[in-house]
Chain A
Amino acid sequence: MPKHEIILLKNMMEPGYTGSLKDYEKAGGYQALQKVLGKVAPADVTTMVIKSGLRGRGGAGVATGGEWTFLPKDYQGPKYLCCNADESEPGTFKDRQLMERDPHQVLEGIALACYAIGAETAYIYIRGEFVLGSRILDKAVAEARAAGYLGKNVLGSGATIQIHVHRGAGAYNFGEETALLESQEGKRGQPRGKPPFPATSGLYGKPTVINNVETLANLPHIVNRGPEWFASIGSPPKSAGTRIFCVSGHVKRPGNYEIPMGTTLRELIFEQAGGMRSDKPLKAIIPGGASAAFLTPNHLDVKLDFESVAQAGSMLGSGGVTVMEEGTDMVWAALRLMEFFHHESCGKCSPCREGSSWLVQTLRRILAKRGRMEDLETLVQLCNNIAGRTVCAFGDAEVAPILSTLKYWRPEYEALIREAEAHRAHELPMAAMRH
């Protein structure tokens, strides 16, 4: 048994737990909503969340309670909450488990957030491929509505809280919240220029908060057990609470592991996930989803909290930890991720749309042993002309795999290019020109 407390995955780890309303209630579910609704002022719920130190689990790590306070204070019209369930960062598969195995925990979190910010309607934007997840959520919403936890006059408090499940249709860049809003409005999923920020002009031009599934699932526990309790877990003050880390790649036991933030990469990989799958040693780690820079075995003692991973030159991101063994070709790995980003670039900004295509072409050329030494400089130049030059953070994300593999495994790139050069030396001048 793990030596730390499991919070979000606790219910579903009980044998026989089905995630039904009955099971959730038996496990203490919806008590937070009953405790708060009509009894605690919405502003006090926000204060509680601020005090807890909860930060967004989707990737950016914004302070959740703080974000809520950006909504205009005396606004009379409708406000919205969007639950970002578009989990699509390669390496990440935790929200799927939270929604499919314990959907009411997510719904209670959404209801609490709606109450705190004064939103009567919430949309769960779930990625289109999660058909099963959307069915499970639909059913859970109907159960909760029938039991009076959602709908009009929830628990006799007078508050209205409606939740709708909205399925996406296969696009990546909705970690960028304004792109998610565009998609929810039935448009192409491209980011908006900011300002205005969603807090003042979001969904349908109304004040909107967008929070990740795991972020919202923490709320019932914060309300039930108090912000001080939450703030004492993990690596406070800046990284309070647990995180569900999704371990993939060459480990013995890939999967979702909930551990306090501040645990080391070493413990996650070698204790939780059982270590490497074979006797091949560890070569590379991506600590926070495809958008996070690669790290090396020298980083095993880096603590998994927002600050420590950033200090190591990467990011905690969405919690997707991918492990690669010795023998994995790093140029190939960078290309696979780059192909993903090229495919998912929404096409709005030229540096990202064109740059991702050039990066893929250049990497393919190097991997096919047709590269030249100056290609390495070209890669770096391209990356530097994408990052920071796009409307959303996608541009910064897509260059991380290339820049970090170049930083740590440059000799692998060079070896491929030297092979190309050796080959080229035997070609006739005209043939060489074709490359």
Chain B
Amino acid sequence: MLQEKHRTEIDEILSRYPVKRSALLPLLYLAQREAGYISEEAMREIAGLLRLTPPQVYETATFYTMLNLKPVGKFHLQVCKSLMCALVGSDTLIGWLEKKLGIKVGETSKDGLFTLSKVECLGACGTGPMMQINDDYYERLTEEKVDRILADLKRDGASALKTGPFMWPEPNGAKQ
């Protein structure tokens, strides 16, 4: 149950809004952080918290692509396939990932580690091809970089190749 475990955080979220329903997305995120996806049980609990009906929660939850209504792998790889990334090779990137992970877009690897998705624009058009893995962006990807990222994630659960605070081009003509 979310309430028992996250009472303080839930209260803090609710305090931001004069109308309870506004807390719906933040609470759905909380549920997703907790279980990796949003279960029906969590949606019912959130409905109770916000005095909404379960269908009201469901209708919102089904609108947004970032809310997973079924389990995904430990690392959710989301590759941008929109035009700006496609111009600089996102289709090739998807091919590499399918080959390296041995799965197709929309599938999860057998060990439950990786889910591969194709998504629309992630707002990183000048640094494509790129992908988002869980909370982090990985940009200007090359095959070598992809290999390192996958190895890092398998070994350490994190990779130093993720993007920090974004700026491109970097200040003072640093490496292009």
Contacts and interface: CB of A to CB of B under 8 A. Distances in A.
B14 to A, nearest CB: 12
A87 interface: yes
Interface string A171-192: 1100000000001111111000
A256 B64 contact: no
Interface string B56-87: 00011001111100000000000001111011
B64 A97 contact: no
Interface stretch (A27-35, A59-67, A125-133): A125-133
Contacts of B137: 129, 132
Interface stretch (B24-32, B103-111, B141-149, B150-158): B24-32
Contacts of A164: 16-17
B19 interface: yes
**Interface-centre pick from A100, A249, A328 (highest chain B CB count, 10 A):** A249
A279 interface: no
Contacts of A131: 135-136
A78 B18 CA distance: 10
Given A172-B120, A250-B87, A255-B126, A12 B66 contact: no
A188 B18 contact: no
B7 to A, nearest CB: 20
A96 B137 CA distance: 12
Contact of B65 (A12, A167, A169): A169
A340 B167 CA distance: 25
Interface string A333-344: 100110110011
Contact of A322 (B87, B168, B171): B87
A190 to B, nearest CB: 8
Contacts of B86: 336
Given A14-B171, A101-B166, A169-B66, A129 B123 contact: yes
A322 B163 CA distance: 22
Contacts of A328: 87
B44 interface: no
B161 interface: no
**Interface-centre pick from B59, B86, B120 (highest chain A CB count, 10 A):** B120
Nearest to B121: A90
Interface in A1-46: 12-15, 17, 19
Interface of B: 16-19, 21-26, 28-29, 50, 59-60, 63-67, 81-84, 86-88, 119-128, 132, 135-137, 163-169, 171-172, 176
Given A166-B26, A253-B176, A256-B169, 18 more contacts: A13-B171, A78-B18, A90-B82, A90-B121, A91-B84, A128-B25, A164-B17, A167-B29, A168-B25, A171-B64, A204-B18, A248-B84, A256-B126, A320-B125, A322-B125, A328-B87, A333-B83, A337-B82
Interface of A: 12-15, 17, 19, 78, 87-93, 96-97, 100-101, 127-133, 136, 164, 166-172, 183-189, 204, 246-250, 253-256, 290, 320, 322, 324, 328, 333, 336-337, 339-340, 343-344, 346
